[in-house]
Amino acid sequence: SVSNEIPGFCAVGYGESECGPSSSSKLLIKGGTVVNADRQEVADVYIEDGIIVSVQPNIKVGDDVTVLDATGKYVMPGGIDPHTHLEMEFMGTETIDDFFSGQAAALSGGTTMHIDFVIPVNGSLSAGFEAYAKKAKKSCMDYGFHMAITKWDEYVEREMEIMVKEKGINSFKFFLAYKGSLMINDELLLKGMKACKSLGALAMVHAENGDAVAEGQKKMIELGITGPEGHVLSRPPVLEGEATGRAIRLASFVNTPLYVVHVMSIDAMEEIAKARKAGQRVIGEPVVSGLVLDDSGLWDPDFTIAAKYVMSPPIRKQGHNKALQAALSTGLLQLVGTDHCTFNSTQKALGIDDFRKIPNGVNGIEERMHLVWDTMVESGKISVTDYVQITSTECARIFNIYPRKGAILAGSDADIIILNPNSSFQITAETHHSRTDTNVYEGRRGKGKVEVTIAGGRVVWKDGELKVLPGTGRYIEMPPFSYLFNGIDKADATYLSSLRAPVQRFKAAT
């Protein structure tokens, strides 16, 4: 099976019998602390043919079973990254990580599934789906798709239905920024939200006011500010707060759940918190860059360094990160993504004379599990069960694939990590698995190391060796009407009768 593998990714030292799809399909993880979102217990986990068969103490097995000792370590569901862009054409170039390299990076960092955004081709959803299905053939871990909606007509509406009913997509993203390319207006957003609601699909928004961003950018150029700092200055938090609030209010008007991607600022977070307090179903997704970085890197005089931090919405001033961590720890924000969207230094240099041309995006698919552990668990902000909740389980619930994913239960997929809380990690572009040549977390160290990753019942990461095969990842269809839709029809009925009652009273009185 060696010849099937990608050079550089074949682990030596496992023994060839374990190499490739014909590997031993029986696995026992012994003596670890098994953590789910609701509880933790010391137990063994027995796996056969990619599925968890049993979770209980002292499982006895025969000698045809590969045994992994997890004593003193945490055995947790593999991470699910709700927000990635692999092999995406964007801003005149294409992300450097494809479905193989991005997923290889993910697996080495403890993420076993991701949900990527299909971009329609000339507005056609089915053409976009076909293109992404093709790109994803080289997958080495399981993946799902969201889909962006970039224009509106009767075909788009019909295609949304096909995507949901036949293609396994249950979420659509609307960009309120990127004027002139992906951006849509409020009329389209409203139509899209209504279509989402009727299909039981989740509306997602990139919330920045794109018209105002364009104004801000023009102003910077007029002032002669052309470097990466212009990116930050041109799109302040107030524009993120405005768009987040607007999308939330329109979702309330339509009475459909809303998912706000990459919440980067206090302004946006507070809009979400306020809506949730009022009983609205709004999900807020911070991303690792927003949780752990601040904007200082964007002011680095070295363009290559500053440009690597350019993403939208921008990484904010110190203080926003801590506030987002706090919101995550108390449940005001619900899960963590990465927005992994990598461009190398050469690609970033497209904007050397004009920050508006720097391809937007940062890395994170490989670093998320470690950085969230170190920032949130190691620092004492959240429990280990909460860690599982925000890195895996809640994502599986929102996108309606729980408990197949996001849990260590009999019958669930065997996507599992073993994390050693006493070991440490260190991040550098020199050793990371992404194809990009920089890392926004360069030099970071922390406590807690993913020592083993098991994907679909196969040990793919162990002893610092990655053993992955293109074509082993599966497309995970995600059915509509997740828990977020429970009771929406009842709320609609109540709302309608609240509209009718005063009209009837008025008629009776006249």
- 3 near Zn ion, rule: CB under 5 A: no
Is there binding between residue 87 and ligand URP (CB under 6 A)? no
Minimum Å distance from CB 235 to Zn ion? Answer: 12
- Considering the rule CB under 6 A, would residue 308 count as an interface residue with ligand URP? no
- From the list ligand URP, Zn ion, none, pick the one residue 10 interacts with, judged by a Cβ distance below 5 to 8 Å according to partner type: Zn ion
SS3 call for 48: strand
How far, in Å, CA of 114 to CA of 106, rounded? Answer: 9
Q: Which of 111, 360, 400, 412 binds ligand URP (CB under 6 A)?
A: 360
Residue closer to ligand URP (CB basis): 297 or 457:
297
SS (H, E, C) 58-94: CCCCCCCCEEEECCCCEEEECEEEEEECCCCEECCEE
Residues 349 and 173: their CA atoms lie apart, in Å, by 28
Closest to Zn ion by CB, 34 vs 88, is 88
- Smallest distance from ligand URP to CB 74, Å: 31
For position 320 contacting Zn ion by CB under 5 A, the verdict is no
CA distance 160 to 492: 22
User: Do the bridges between strand 93-94 and strand 111-118 make them parallel or antiparallel, or are there none, so unpaired?
Assistant: unpaired
Please state, in angstroms and rounded to a whole number, the distance separating the CA atoms of residues 236 and 319.
14
Write out the DSSP string of 371-404.
HHIIIIIITTSS-HHHHHIIIIIHHHHHTT-TTT
User: Binding of ligand URP at residue 375 (CB under 6 A)?
Assistant: no
Closest by Cα among 246, 233, 238 to 205: 246
Binding mask 264-303 for ligand URP (x = CB under 6 A): ----------------------------------------
What three-state secondary structure class fits 335? coil
Convert residues 6-25 into a mask of x (bound to Zn ion by CB under 5 A) and - (unbound).
Answer: ----x--------x------
Q: Which is nearer to ligand URP, 262 or 370 (CB)?
A: 262
CA 92 to chain centre: 23
Residue 436 within binding range of ligand URP, rule CB under 6 A: no
Could you say which of 30, 73, 167, 206 contacts Zn ion (CB under 5 A)? 206
434 near ligand URP, rule: CB under 6 A:
no
Per partner kind, with CB cut-offs from 5 to 8 A, the member of ligand URP, Zn ion, none near residue 2 is Zn ion
Helix axes 154-166, 125-135, angle to 10 degrees: 40
Binding site for Zn ion (CB under 5 A): 2, 10, 19, 206, 339
Binding site for ligand URP (CB under 6 A): 85, 206, 262, 311-312, 339, 341, 360-361
